[in-house]
Amino acid sequence: MYLIFYAVALLRIHAVQGIADSFLPGWRAAALAGAVMVTAGVGIPLRCYLLSAVGFDYQRLGEKFQQMFPFILALDQLWAVAPFLLVQKIGLGAAFAASVALLYVPFSERTLIRMAYIPVPE
């Protein structure tokens, strides 16, 4: 789901800029659009790495994920507010519900990774 958000945000960066311009003055709107571009640019390879690691059953993924988790958590919490960019189309209630669901994703990822990739004693 986050991968799709990243791609759509980059494809429609002009719309993100327009929304930002509507509620942020001047340079702050450009900074928000820049933050969207940078975080999406980091998020796409991160999600591709996680998908390929699970797809190829990379046995050290559990260890690697634990190291990356604070960064994944920060990125996901930041992007969990993305549905609020669609408030005018989906309404406040749906945006809030989608954000709440997105806030849960990194914790469920961590749980699933811990269950699937139990550390092997050496």
pLDDT at 122: 65
User: How many domains is the chain partitioned into structurally?
Assistant: 1
- Domain assignment of residue 122, yes or no: no
3-state secondary structure of 80: coil
Indicate if the pLDDT at residue 121 is higher than 80: no
- Domain assignment of residue 46, yes or no: yes
Indicate if the pLDDT at residue 27 is higher than 80: yes
Indicate if the pLDDT at residue 119 is higher than 80: no
For residue 6, what are the domain limits? 2-116
- Domain assignment of residue 54, yes or no: yes
- Domain assignment of residue 17, yes or no: yes
pLDDT at 94: 93
Work out the average pLDDT over 76-82.
Answer: 91
* Predicted TM-score (pTM) of this structure: 0.81
- Domain assignment of residue 121, yes or no: no
As a whole number of angstroms, the distance between CA 112 and CA 48 comes to: 17
pLDDT at 19: 84
Average pLDDT, the chain: 90
Confidence category of residue 79, pLDDT binned at 50, 70, 90: very high
Question: Based on the number of CB atoms within 10 Å of its own CB, is 113 exposed (0-12), middle (13-18) or buried (19 or more)?
Answer: buried
